[in-house]
Amino acid sequence: MLQKLSASISRWALSAYFYLIVFYLIFPVLIIFPISLSNNTFLRFPPSNFGIRWYQTFVNDPAWMEATILSFSVAISVSILATVIGTMAVLALERRKLRFSNLLSYFMSSPLLIPHIFIALGVLIFTISLGVENSIFALIGAHTAIAIPYVVLIVGASHRQLDLTLERAARVLGAGPIRAFFAAAFPSLLPSVVAAAVFAFFVSFDELVIAQFLMNGRETLPMRIWADLRLELRPTIAAVSSLLIILTTVAMLLAELLRRRTASLTST
């Protein structure tokens, strides 16, 4: 009796603890929404009157808009490049008996473990010594390099679940290797490839330090936010943040569901 009571108390305490931690993780993010809807000139809580004034400021300010467009174009290029190059690497790593294939996998995931500030400084010094500093291609390249490990991990995990019989059958029936791959294997790989593309997009879209070091003059969205945060806390940032929170949650949730769907489809 006593034991049962203490077991149910500890179960109750554990779930109370869980929700406390969830509150700690999510509350600061949620609080941004009401602030973004205030019409006050300065940041204050609770807001005294509500409106969409700061959203209008964001949309009508050319500096914010240019930064948004630049970030989108860099992130879309990175997403495409990283997904294609990463998927190709997965196919090579998983299908060919490469020498040093373990070593190559480690090398592929190394950018995950190196601080971005280290990569930022390295690429900066490298571009200076090559005389090609302040180029948007260096930024896209560096972002692609740090996005590749995510693609390799996500697509690699899904490829290991793949049943290769169908593709072999297609080969036996006379399809070339490329056609057999796209007809038989690629459709089941596709959800994880899309998920990887979304992850890669946000790796670039959220990245500050590398952009800060490499770009001189043109600002990405994180650079714009960073510059504003260092000077003063205007509610424009709350409006921008709210939009980004919604965008990130929706896109990443879709990606995660796609990733899980492939995992469960192939495992049953």
Partner 1 sequence: MIWPALILLFMFILAPAIEIFRASIFDPEFTTEHINRIFGRDIYLTILWRTIKVSLVVSVLCAVIAYPVAYFIVKRPRQQQFAFLFLIFVPMWMNILIRTYAWMVVLGREGIINSTMIALGLIDESIQMLFTSGAVYVSMIQILLPIQIVTCYSAMTEIDFDLVRAARILGASPAQALRRVFLPLSLDGTITGMIIVFMLSMGFFITPALVGGPTDLMLANLIEMQVEQLNWGFAATIAILLFTSTLLFVLVIRSLSKMLTKFLGGGNL
Question: Of 234-263, which residues contact partner 1 (CB under 8 A)?
Answer: 237-238, 241, 244-245, 248-249, 252-253, 256, 260
Does 44 bind partner 1 (CB under 8 A)? Our answer is: yes
With a CB cutoff of 8 Å and minimum separation 6, the contacts of 245 are 29, 32, 33
Please give the angle made by the CA atoms of 238, 30 and 146, to the nearest 5 degrees. 75
What tokens does 197 get? 């593309």
> By CB under 8 A, which span of 59-67, 82-90, 158-166, 174-182 interacts with partner 1?
82-90
Please identify which residue in 37, 74, 78, 145 interacts with partner 1, judged by CB under 8 A. 145
Which residues 9-28 are close enough to bind partner 1 by CB under 8 A? 14-15, 17-18, 21-22, 24-28
CB of 248 or CB of 266, closer to partner 1: 248
CB of 188 or CB of 242, closer to partner 1: 242
CB of 113 or CB of 173, closer to partner 1: 113
Does 160 bind partner 1 (CB under 8 A)? Our answer is: no
* Helix (H) or strand (E) segment spanning residue 186: helix 186-205
Please identify which residue in 74, 78, 86, 156 interacts with partner 1, judged by CB under 8 A. 86
Across the chain, the runs of DSSP E, i.e. the strands, are none
The DSSP secondary-structure symbol of 48 reads S
Distance of alpha carbon 17 from alpha carbon 19, whole angstroms = 6
Distance of alpha carbon 74 from alpha carbon 72, whole angstroms = 6
Asked if 190 and 202 touch (Cβ cutoff 8 Å), the reply is no
Show the binding pattern over residues 90-129: x = contacts partner 1 (CB under 8 A), - = does not: -xxx----x-----x--xx-xx-xxxxxxx-xxxxxx-xx
